[in-house]
Each structure stands twice: as C-alpha cells, then as structure tokens.
Amino acid sequence: MDRIILHSDINSCFANVECLYRPELRGKPVSVCGSIEERHGIVLASTIEAKRCGVKTGEAIWQTKQKCPDLITLTPNYDRYVRFSKLSREIYSDYTDRVEPFGLDEAFLDVTGNPKAFGDGSAIAEEIRQRIKFELGVTVSIGTSYNKIFAKLGSDMKKPDAVTAITRDNYREKVWPLPVGDLLYVGRATRHKLSELGITTIGELATTKEDVLRKQLGQMGTVLYSFANGYDRTPVALHGESSIIKSISNGTTPPRDMVDMQDARIILMMLSESVAERLREHGFAAGVVYINYRDTSLNYFQKQLKLDRPTSVSTEILETSTELLRQSWCFSVPLRSITVGVSDLCPENTPSQISIFADEHRRIKREKLEIAIDDIRRRFGHYSIMRTITHLDDTLGKIDARGEHVSYPVGFFKEYSR
C-alpha cells in the first residue's frame, strides 16, 4: 500500500498574516520588506495582488515600486508568523501524529491509514484547507502524493487556496514537463550543471541514466534521479521529533560596505552574539556554523564548517565564522552584506565528547557570562552592555542585530554553494 503524504504551504504567509491585523489592506498590493534605511530593503513576501503586478520575492523595493507604484510595504513581525505556524500545526495534528515542519509556513503530513484519506488524501487535504481558512483566516495550498517530493511539487502547482493530487498514474503528465529547477534541492549551481548535460525539465532528469548524473553530481545525482522518478521513501517525522526551527541565522546589510577584515569582524561579532542568544533562548546548541555574503557586485558566496562539539557560545561562533571568511575572501572587493547562521541543532543538554585539549573551565565561564549578558539586555535594552570591538566604528557598531536582522532558514536539507 502506498503512503499518503500531504505538503501544506501557507500562501504568502508573512503578507497575509499582516493583512489579518490590518484588514483595510485586503485586496491591495502588499509586500513585507526589509528596511530601506538599513540597506536591506528587499521583498520577503507579497499578496497575490502584488504578485499580479510582477512583484517578486528578493527584489529591491525600488524595483517593485517601478512595477507597482501603489505597492504598500510593511516591516516583518516574526513573532506573529511563528504563532500562526504553531496554530497551523495544531490543526494538522488532529489528523496525524506525523507532522514535520519545513519552514515556518510549510509542513509535511503522513496521513496513511487515516480513514478520511480515501486513497489519495484529497479528502483530508480539502478538510484541512477549509479549516485553516475558517479558523486562522489565511489560505493554504496542499499537495498530496505517495512521497514527500511530489507532495511538495503539488502544493506549488496551484496557488492560492487549492489542493493538487499527484499519483502514480499522473505524475509523468504533471511532474515531468516542469522545469528541473522546480524540483526540491535543485539550486542555481545544480541547475547549471544539469543544463550542461542538456537537462532542463524534470522528465529529462528522470530519463537520464543514473550513472551519468552520478558522474556529474556525485551522490546528489543519485538522489535527484530518485526524486524525479518518484522513488523517494523519506519518512515524515513524528510530531515533536522535528523542531520548527531547524537553523538560526542573522544577517545584515550594514550602513556602509565592509572594506577589510576589521569591518567584517565587527559585524560578525554582533551577528554571532545574536545567533547565540537565540540558541540559548530556544534551548539549543549548534553543530554547524555557516556564513553567506555578497560583494558589492552582488555575487553570492556561502561556506560552512562542522564543529567538534555543539555550542551556544557566541565567541566560538565568532571564531568559526571569522575563520570561514578569512579563508574565502581577501577583500579585493568590499562586502555589501553578510549572514552568520547555525544548523544541526540539538537540545543544549545533549551529551557531547569533551576534548582533553580544550579549557573546559574557561568554556563554562563563557557560557555563564553570556547568560548574564542576556539577562542584562532583556532588562535594560540591547545597548546597555556592548563588546569593545563595536566601538571601533560608530557606523557599523550601532546595529541591533538581535532586534532588527533576524531570519529563520529552516530547511532540513540545505545545499551549500562553494
């Protein structure tokens, strides 16, 4: 018997949640954007009315204003989005105990065996769609299939407020004509490599010999071949096994470009502190540190490193992120923006191997010190206690990374460009 997997995606989550709090904006072109003043004024999410005008996620606000002069821009309220994420999962849990978050606004559900599934899960999907709309006031698009990959594709096919079923009988007709970039985990670099083989659609990927793909892409070639042919058997995690937050990152485009390592280290310090504070706030430690950055020509780079042991200490995150940047960038071109992130999260009390070469006593003192700093900032504000390095530059050192530059990239399988 085939599994019955659903993928539910809250349509334009950030923008539609904001319209709930400001109902006078319903039916108007609205985008949730970063701050223009802080030089990270890009679109994060848009209503369907804005999208019809050509507004796209990731565009600069000035570009969107040219397409849609009447566009209404709002600043993000992440606490609201987390709340709606939790409320939607409570509804999903009425139908199955296998609910796996995939970002704040998406989730996989395994409803196999639920008597309402009726073979392809469309009945449950339709009921969930109606409940989300009635109880939460937002809409979802839901894909249903016999594996997670096709379920995700199904939820992307019809937006907003729709249910799409992809079955063993129709997946060649529905899935194979789609651009290969629509397949989960096919990013820009992978898409470029596939285009060199003449592969532009999912169907062409599916009918290419596996050994050819493996030669070009390594193990990922086998994975994508399996996905394109519907062979994915990845299970949906039990509710509670998978955290809503899969990784935590903070990034910023500072008021001026970073021209040397000292500039970058000031920003890395503040971002590392912010990431570490959020780790402790949620009771996590991180096993991987990564950075991504753009130069002044908007070229994008990303690096990561697995740690010897999980951490929630900002100085350890800073040391790792600094070394990643030092190894990969020489500042022949200034940097415009940078992000520090952590992934491979685990509960902070998870046992780990202590190194005989590390100063464990000093590490414990650092942890206690940072917890005390967290408390001071909660009581008296972010700027009540600051690192000395932030005073080296009055422009760069005045960024409130904790309050103003927060994001939650939470995919459970992320391809890093190198």
What is the distance between the alpha carbons of residues 22 and 77, in angstroms, rounded to a whole number?
13
In this prediction, residue 73 has a pLDDT band, given cuts at 50, 70 and 90, of very high
Alpha carbon separation from 378 to 271, 272, 313, 328, 374 (Å, rounded):
17, 17, 18, 35, 6
Residue 405 has pLDDT above 70, yes or no: no
Three-class SS of residue 29? Answer: coil
Q: What's the pLDDT tens digit per position in 306-321?
A: 998 898 889 999 999 9
Evaluate whether 243 touches 101 at the Cβ level (below 8 Å). yes
Compute the average pLDDT of residues 191-214. 94
Between these two residues, 33 and 401, which has the higher pLDDT value?
33
Alpha carbon separation from 183 to 73, 159, 202, 213 (Å, rounded):
31, 17, 7, 15
- What was the pLDDT predicted at 409? 36
Least confident among 16-20, 129-133, 257-261, 297-301: 297-301
For 340, the token pair is 């520090």
* Dihedral sign of CA atoms 389, 393, 394, 395 in order: negative
Mean pLDDT score across all residues of the chain: 85
Question: Which residues lie closer than 8 Å to 323 by C-beta, 6 or more apart?
Answer: 305
- What was the pLDDT predicted at 365? 82
- What was the pLDDT predicted at 354? 60
Domains in the chain (CATH in brackets) are 1-168 (3.30.70.270), 176-228 (1.10.150.20), 248-407 (3.30.1490.100)
Threshold 0.75, pTM exceeds: no
Least confident among 269-278, 374-383, 405-414: 405-414
In this prediction, residue 281 has a pLDDT band, given cuts at 50, 70 and 90, of confident
Q: What is the largest CA-CA distance in the chain?
A: 65
What is the distance between the alpha carbons of residues 229 and 87, in angstroms, rounded to a whole number?
34
Q: What's the pLDDT tens digit per position in 366-375?
A: 778 887 877 7
In this prediction, residue 75 has a pLDDT band, given cuts at 50, 70 and 90, of confident
Residues carrying an active site annotation: 106
Residue 244 has pLDDT above 70, yes or no: no
Angle between helices 261-282 and 360-380 (to 10 degrees): 80
Compute the average pLDDT of residues 138-154. 96
Strands ordered across the beta sheet of 106-110 = 99-101, 106-110, 5-10, 140-145, 162-165
Compute the average pLDDT of residues 233-258. 77
